[in-house]
Amino acid sequence: MRIRSLRTRLILTAVGLLAIVLGLVFLAVYASTNFSAQRQAQRQLEIGSNVFSNLLEARARELTNATQILVADFGFRQAVATGDLATIRSALLNQVGRIGADQALFFDAKGVLRISTATVAGADKVEVQALQSLSDQAMITVIDNRPYLLVEAVVRAPVPVGQVAMAFALDTALANELQKITGLEIRFVSRRDQEVMSAFSTMPFAQQNMSMQEGTQQFADEIYLTIPITLLDQAPYSVVAQLASPLNEALASFDYLKRELMIITLIALLVSSLLAVRLSGSLARPVTLLALAAGRIGRGDYSGKVALPRTDELGMLATSIDEMRVGIAEREKLISYNALHDPLTGLPNVSVIRERLRSAIANAQAGVLAQCDLVSAELLINARGQDFMDAFIRQSVTRLVDHLPAHALLAWQPGVGFLLLLERGNLDQAVVDIDALLARLSEKMQVDDIKLSSQWVAGVVEWPLNGSDPHELLRQASIALADASPGADRVAVYQAQRDRAFQRRIQLARDIRYAPEYKELSVVFQPKLDLASGEVRQVEALMRWTHSELGPIGPDEFIVLAEQTGSIGMLTQWMMDAVVSQLRDWIDRGIGLQVAMNISARDLDDPLFPQRIEGLLLAQQISPAYLSMEVTESALMTDPERSIVSLRVLRELGIALAVDDYGTGYSSLAMLKSLPVQDLKIDKSFVLQLAEGSEDAVIVKSTIELAHNMGLKVVAEGVENLYSLNWLKERHCDVAQGYFISRPLAAIDLEKWLDDTRGTFGGSEGA
């Protein structure tokens, strides 16, 4: 059985140890008293046997003296000397009675037994069977099968005339008498050839069968320590006095001691048990309290103060646990605050929004969720740095917090922007309120000595109309945000069908990475018409993606996605391979076309990009003059300095460079002057509607002039009618590109188109 309780274990250990010690003490005392009792009995036996022998001798001396008195009596001597047997017998009987002998014997001068008082006069026929000296004066004899102590005296008148012997029976009476003095049980045993003739004992009859051997003997309840004293040993006769010391008596003297010890042992055990219970209680109780307190802390209950009114280790432990409780409570508060708040703004984060949404929806409330984001935040960060951005955001927060509508919760989530949860009100009111907030945010703001204006947009979703899952609602707000654009549409409301477009974008962004692998990509070439000569010497290579499910995907859609999702580098690489191998093919077949391909800002960021192109061209033995590259104006302006470095490397390779989509960005022509580019491609949005006197026409015309002044050739895209073509030709635009000339064509179609249209467009001379 396992003992679980510390307290029980303490008690058992303490009491167990004491019980063992006391048990050992008790055993030791018990054993030593037993040993001592045995020793005592043995000692008593030894002393007793000495006393016994001395007593027998003393008795013999006493009797001898008494007998000597008899034989010294003048009258008795006279009777003996005169052979007066009757007188002698009477005198002997008288003396026997006087000294308590059992019988007297008289031998004449020749040693013949003449009188025995044990028999009647004239029939003095006793048989002295054995006789052995015990001491100087005493003898042990066996007369008629009974043992006697015998003393003798010679009758002198004055020469020896006879001898008197007094016999004292070794019987029960003597044994009893000796027992009183020695304190030992005494037994006289006479044997003839091992057969007991007589036995006299102080002990009960049952114990008379005692073995004659020395040692311990047990009879019923009594244990005796015995010692035999051989008084007579004359074969075949023997007389033995057996002395026995009852061990129980010796042991009994220790009974009191043992009883006392037992009582003391029991009391000690009882007291120690009580003490152990008390002590273990005083140990275990506070431990239990501390365990309960620790359990409360473990469950997150930090309310109760932990303290023990004691100064020992347990008190210290309680103090430590309490300190731990306070510390954990503080840290947990901080952790939960951090978990629910944004460290930058101190506003709640998305988790709080989610939680509030969940509980509001659970409470059958309705409201609006909005996500607000700064337009082109990435540009701002790139231009001013993250610290500036952080300061800007913090300042924006201060602008908002005091102007929030009622029942609004404002949150900031890094990477997401502001989240605003309105728990009351309808959608219309919400859009108005949010628009007002965006207006406040978009006002000019002074941050670190820089005054800047910013543009904010918001995506709004109604709940629970569009869903009851906070995650889903947040996603829908994000989708709506993607639809918002600066200006009138800066607040976009989520609509279910817009969600499908978003899903499509997600799918395309995912699948585009696998497009080269699935051979869904292809290249088409759009001719570039040299307006001066009317010839087509250049083509722009354009990528086409035919999705296995969704069909052809427009470049405007997937290029942007590829740039946003980082797949653009892979597309560029694929494009390069395709263009170079096409160039190789055309050069081999004598078709001299310069192919322009588009590269992104990310390609310019890649320092190894020029090397790869060079390696590719070298591998195919193609002159760099066959290749040109077009970089959009916005790509160039992301990091103009780095763009310049990369473009110079490309230019040094001998590759012609063009600025694409010119007019959509914020670059100035002065800035373009520092770029190693040869061509400027005016964005098609300017070329599409070239009506005389229109704003676009003014821009295009002045752009052509300014470019030419800077030594740049001008390419106009989006030429879709003859008017535009002629207009451009008249304004000395160098190259035209557009559907009016040709839509982008596959390589084989392009070759056919070139054959078919040779000379069709004519030169500027012909126009």
Partner 1 sequence: MSEKSMPHFFSRSQMQVPLFMGMASLASLFWSACGFAAQVMLTDEAGEPLANAVLMVDEVPALASHSYVMDQIDRQFEPHVLVVPSGSLVDFPNSDDVRHHVYSFSSAKPFELGLFKGSDAPPVSFERPGVVVLGCNIHDAMVGYILITDSPRFAVSDTQGMVSLADLPAGKWPVAWWHPSLFEQAPVALGELDLSQASQIISLPVTQAGSVVKPALSPLQQRFKNATQ
Closest to partner 1 by CB, 142 vs 559, is: 142
Residues 113-142 interacting with partner 1 (rule: CB under 8 A): 128, 131, 133, 139
194: left (phi over 0), alpha (psi -120 to 50) or beta: left
Residue 64 CB, shortest distance to partner 1, in Å, is 11
> Hey, what are 594's tokens?
């310069």
Closest to partner 1 by CB, 141 vs 466, is: 141
Question: How many residues of this chain bind partner 1 (CB under 8 A)?
Answer: 25
Residues 571-600 interacting with partner 1 (rule: CB under 8 A): none
Chosen residue from 1, 2, 4, 111 binding partner 1 by CB under 8 A: 111
> Hey, what are 84's tokens?
């007066």
> Hey, what are 398's tokens?
């201060």
Does residue 163 interact with partner 1 by CB under 8 A? yes
Closest to partner 1 by CB, 140 vs 715, is: 140
Closest to partner 1 by CB, 127 vs 472, is: 127
Q: Are 334 and 341 in contact (CB under 8 A)?
A: no
**Cα-based distances in Å from 104 to 67, 124, 126, 129, 148:** 10, 11, 11, 16, 11
Closest to partner 1 by CB, 75 vs 552, is: 75
Residue 78 CB, shortest distance to partner 1, in Å, is 6
Closest to partner 1 by CB, 167 vs 276, is: 167
- Report cis status (omega within 30 of 0) of the bond before 158: yes
Residue 66 CB, shortest distance to partner 1, in Å, is 17
Residue 58 CB, shortest distance to partner 1, in Å, is 19
Q: Are 150 and 140 in contact (CB under 8 A)?
A: yes
- Report cis status (omega within 30 of 0) of the bond before 527: no
State the Cα–Cα distance between residues 592 and 88, nearest whole angstrom. Answer: 187
Helix axes 377-384, 386-401, angle to 10 degrees: 130
Alpha helices in 566-625 (DSSP H): 568-588, 601-605, 609-619
Sign of CA dihedral 426, 431, 436, 440: positive
Q: Look at residues 521, 537, 650 and name the one whose alpha carbon lies nearest to residue 586.
A: 537
Closest to partner 1 by CB, 96 vs 409, is: 96
Chosen residue from 45, 96, 104, 165 binding partner 1 by CB under 8 A: 165
Closest to partner 1 by CB, 4 vs 110, is: 110
Residue 202 CB, shortest distance to partner 1, in Å, is 30
Sign of CA dihedral 712, 718, 720, 723: negative
Give the 3-state DSSP-derived string for 48-82, with helices as H, strands as E and coil as C: HHHHHHHHHHHHHHHHHHHHHHHHHCHHHHHHHHC
Chosen residue from 100, 160, 343, 552 binding partner 1 by CB under 8 A: 160
Candidates 49-57, 155-163, 245-253, 359-367: pick the segment binding partner 1 (CB under 8 A). 155-163
State the Cα–Cα distance between residues 630 and 713, nearest whole angstrom. Answer: 13
Residues 66-105 interacting with partner 1 (rule: CB under 8 A): 72, 74, 77-78, 81-82
Residue 173 CB, shortest distance to partner 1, in Å, is 25
Residues 613-642 interacting with partner 1 (rule: CB under 8 A): none
Does residue 284 interact with partner 1 by CB under 8 A? no
Closest to partner 1 by CB, 143 vs 481, is: 143
Residue 82 CB, shortest distance to partner 1, in Å, is 6
Residue 218 CB, shortest distance to partner 1, in Å, is 40
Residue 219 CB, shortest distance to partner 1, in Å, is 38
Q: Are 36 and 255 in contact (CB under 8 A)?
A: no
State the Cα–Cα distance between residues 29 and 42, nearest whole angstrom. Answer: 19
Residue 81 CB, shortest distance to partner 1, in Å, is 3
φ, ψ of residue 562 to 5 degrees: the values are: -65, -35
Does residue 296 interact with partner 1 by CB under 8 A? no
Does residue 158 interact with partner 1 by CB under 8 A? yes
Does residue 157 interact with partner 1 by CB under 8 A? yes
Residue 199 CB, shortest distance to partner 1, in Å, is 24
The total of other beta-carbon atoms located within 10 Å of residue 466's CB is: 18
Q: Look at residues 328, 329, 354, 349 and name the one whose alpha carbon lies nearest to residue 339.
A: 349
Closest to partner 1 by CB, 14 vs 113, is: 113
Q: Indicate the pairing of strand 417-422 with strand 367-374.
A: antiparallel
Residue 109 CB, shortest distance to partner 1, in Å, is 8
Sign of CA dihedral 303, 309, 310, 311: positive
Closest to partner 1 by CB, 96 vs 165, is: 165
Residue recorded with tokens 């303290």:
307
Closest to partner 1 by CB, 140 vs 369, is: 140
Q: To the nearest 10°, report the CA torsion of 51, 52, 58, 59.
A: 150
Surface-to-core class of residue 25, CB atoms within 10 Å of its CB (0-12 exposed, 13-18 middle, 19+ buried): middle
List the beta strands (DSSP E) in 394-520: 408-413, 417-422, 445-447, 450-452, 456-463, 491-493
Does residue 236 interact with partner 1 by CB under 8 A? no
Does residue 107 interact with partner 1 by CB under 8 A? yes
Residue 233 CB, shortest distance to partner 1, in Å, is 15
Residue 156 CB, shortest distance to partner 1, in Å, is 6
Chosen residue from 1, 2, 4, 110 binding partner 1 by CB under 8 A: 110
Does residue 156 interact with partner 1 by CB under 8 A? yes
Residues near partner 1 (CB under 8 A) are 72, 74, 77-78, 81-82, 107, 110-112, 128, 131, 133, 139, 150, 152, 154, 156-161, 163, 165
